[in-house]
Chain A
Amino acid sequence: MYETAIDFFTHNWLGQAIVILLECLAVTVPLLVAVAYMTYVDRKVWASIQLRRGPNVVGPFGLLQPFADGLKLMLKETIVPSSANSILFIIAPMITFLTALIAWAVVPFGNGVVISNLNVGILYLFAISSLGVYGVIIAGWASNSKYAFLGALRSAAQMVSYEVSIGFVLITVLLCVGSLNLSKVVLAQSGGFWHWYFLPLLPMFVIFFVSSLAETNRTPFDLPMSEAELVQGFQTEYSSMPFALFFLGEYANMILLSAMGAVLFLGGWMAPLPFLPSTGVWGVIWFALKIAFLLFVFSWTKGTLPRYRYDQLMRLGWKVFLPVSLGYVVLTAAVLQFGGWVPKI
């Protein structure tokens, strides 16, 4: 019926479904390995900042540490508090983990290397990243514990506040590109690092990075889980695999926001110099290097900065980032219009 295997995989609905499944696996498996090693790199970076060695016992240079941690969490008992709402209690970490994974469907790893080349890719990413807050709120409420609930409330307010400025950052980028398609965002930045958007939009890049720290509840914005006041915030009642899912989801979110930063401001899969190759596997390598750089800055910040006070956090979000990003949107639009640089669509 189908003459070749290629025919089967492109025309039969079953074949298409198998291809989609394999594509998803090809993104998810490397992502999970990256998440595992991100926890390791994170700890190594903090250790170096504090003149320690970090994990160095399990395997050579401690390289097997993430798997030892994973195994430990898997073998532990899953405890659901008796007064907790058990269904929502179990669903919450799944939501956090899933939202961190499904966003990768539109991230372009190379020229044409993307699961779904969506025309509204930026909006999709923004929509999915705004869903992460549900995992946190539901976890806090379902735990039926005051520490968890306080942590969830803080986290929800914080994530909603910083999403506003991220939205304006996205608008400036798409004004310069003239498309919501992420592949086109990258293609608009082709030709050496001086064409990347981090230079003309430097204030927005800084705002985006700081807001992504707040979105992922990382230091200096880790108030939702500040251990000195709230035990562990919304994760207080979690143990074993549900806790592991939260943990993985958080790191996957960090990698996702770094990938967003790399696509929007650091030219995605483009090579930093025009004569270097950026096709095929090279594109994936450049993209991975850019993500790795942003992730290193994430760890670096965590090792360096103290925690913000809650009113300072809100002030920064609403009184500094919101007006600055709004002003920059107007400025960018004006410069594009009067400088004659409006992208042709």
Chain B
Amino acid sequence: MILQALAFYVFAAITIASGAMVVSSRNPVYSVLFLILAFFNAAGLFVLIGAEFVAMILVIVYVGAVAVLFLFVVMMLDINITKLREGFLEYLPIGALIGIVLALEIMIGLGVFGGLPTGTVASLNKAGAQVASIENTRAIGQVLYTQYFYLFQVAGLVLLTAMIGAIVLTLRSRPGVRRQKVGEQLYRTKEQAMTIVKVPSRGGL
């Protein structure tokens, strides 16, 4: 238990510290790198509460794909760092307000102010206990493909639409671009590819 508690405090402290560094570091590349560190430690916290599947998906999706693209874009941009810092204090109150609102919402959701109907917490705990007895991959699969099937499909369709949208926005037909068409190359026969010319002696072509 000591090791688990120690791991929790290490992960939690690093998550919060790197979250603060994302906002306050001077170089945007550092910000993205701290964001990655925060994702990573959040995944560690998920592992500690026994949600291994969510932890791995967090690392695969956010660290392995989303943050790579972030880093890619931020590294390519030529950002003037001092200019970026100028409005920092101006936006601080708005940012703090949003932060406080989010924190309050989470607290209401957890029933800190006693707003929850009685029994909700108990039923949540019961559901958690049931989940703990089977692998959590299977537990997620069981509700995702039964109770939330339509929502799951709709989420997939929304992502598909976004993907098609991105392709439509960037796809332009550019005339004059020579493309390699592998199919055509492979189906070319000897007759199409070369002609045999009988060259008369001393005549040339």
A-side residues, CB < 8 A to B, are 13, 16-17, 88, 118-120, 123-124, 126-127, 130-131, 133-134, 137-138, 141, 149, 153, 156, 160, 163, 180, 311-312, 315, 345
Which residues of chain B (32-85) have a CB below 8 Å from chain A?
33, 36, 52-53, 56-57, 59-60, 63-65, 68-69, 71-72, 75
Residues of B within 8 Å of A312, CB to CB, are 180
- Judging by beta carbons under 8 Å apart, are A120 and B56 in contact? yes
Q: Do residues B60 and A126 form an inter-chain contact, with CB atoms below 8 A?
A: yes
Among B59, B64, B75, B138, the residue within 8 A (CB) of A137 is B75
Query: B1-16, CB under 8 A of A: which get 1 and which 0?
Result: 1110000000000000
- Does B56 lie within 8 Å of A156, measured CB to CB? no
B68: chain A residues at CB < 8 Å are 133-134, 137, 156, 160
Contact A127 B64, beta carbon cutoff 8 Å = yes
Residues of A within 8 A of B3 (CB): 13, 16-17
A2 to B138, CA, bound (A): 39
Which residue of chain A has the shortest Cβ distance to B182 in the bound complex?
A315
**A157: nearest chain-B partner, CB-CB:** B72
- What residues of chain A lie closer than 8 Å to B69, measured between beta carbons? 160
Listed A/B pairs (6) with beta-carbon separation below 8 Å: A16-B3, A126-B56, A126-B64, A134-B36, A141-B75, A160-B68
In contact, B63 and A120 (Cβ under 8 angstroms): no
A313 to chain B, nearest CB (A): 12
Is the Cβ of B53 less than 8 Å from the Cβ of A123? yes
Q: Is the CB of B56 within 8 A of A130?
A: no
Q: Is the interface of A mostly helix, strand, loop or mixed?
A: helix
Which residues of A are found within 8 Å of B65, using beta-carbon distances?
130, 160, 163
**A130 in complex: contacting residue of B29, B63, B136, B180, CB < 8 Å:** B63
Asked, given contacts A16-B3, A17-B3, whether A119 binds B135 with beta carbons under 8 Å apart, the answer is: yes
Complex CA gap A311/B179 in Å reads 10
Within 8 Å of chain A (Cβ to Cβ): is B161? no
Q: How far is the CA of A231 from the CA of B155 in the complex (A)?
A: 45
Chain A residues with CB under 8 Å of B75's CB are 137, 141, 149
Q: Tell me, yes or no, whether B137 is within 8 Å of chain A by CB.
A: yes
B53 touches A120 (CB 8 A): yes
Using CB atoms and an 8 Å cutoff, list the residues of chain B in contact with chain A: 1-3, 29, 33, 36, 52-53, 56-57, 59-60, 63-65, 68-69, 71-72, 75, 135-138, 180, 182
Please pick, from B29, B72, B137, B182, the residue contacting A180 in the complex, using a CB distance under 8 A. Answer: B137
In this complex, what residue of A is CB-closest to B69? Answer: A160
Enumerate chain B residues within 8 angstroms of A134, measured Cβ to Cβ.
Answer: 36, 68, 71
Q: How far is the CB of A86 from chain B (nearest CB, A)?
A: 13
Whether the pair B64, A130 counts as a contact (CB closer than 8 A) is yes
Residues of chain B within 8 A of A130, CB atoms compared: 59-60, 63-65
Partner of B60, one of A118, A123, A315: A123
Chain A residues with Cβ under 8 A from B53's Cβ?
Answer: 120, 123
Closest chain-B Cβ to A263's Cβ sits at a distance in Å of 17
Nearest CB in chain A to that of B4: its residue: A13
- Of B2, B56, B63, B137, which one neighbours A124 at CB under 8 angstroms? B56
Chain A residue at smallest Cβ distance from B134: A345
The 6 closest A-B pairs by CB, nearest first: A130-B64, A123-B56, A127-B59, A120-B52, A127-B60, A13-B2
Known: A126-B60, A156-B72, A160-B68. A119 touches B33 (CB 8 A): no
Say how far B6's CB is from chain A's closest CB, in angstroms.
Answer: 9
Chain B residues lying within 8 Å of A123, measured Cβ to Cβ, are 53, 56-57, 60
Per the bound structure, the CA–CA distance linking A180 and B65 in Å amounts to: 21
CB contacts (< 8 Å) of A156 on chain B: these are 68, 72
CA of A242 to CA of B108, assembled, Å: 50
Complex Cα–Cα for A312 and B73 (A): 24
Contact, CB under 8 Å: A119 / B60: no
Contacts of A345 in B (CB 8 A): 138
- A119 adjacent to B137 (CB under 8 Å): yes
- Asked if residues B52 and A131 are in contact (CB atoms below 8 Å), the reply is no
For residue B33, which residues in chain A have a CB less than 8 angstroms away from its CB? Answer: 88, 138
CB-based contact A153/B72 at 8 Å = yes
A311 vs B137: C-alpha distance in the bound complex, in angstroms? 38
Contacts of B1 in A (CB 8 A): 13
Q: How far is the CB of A213 from chain B (nearest CB, A)?
A: 19
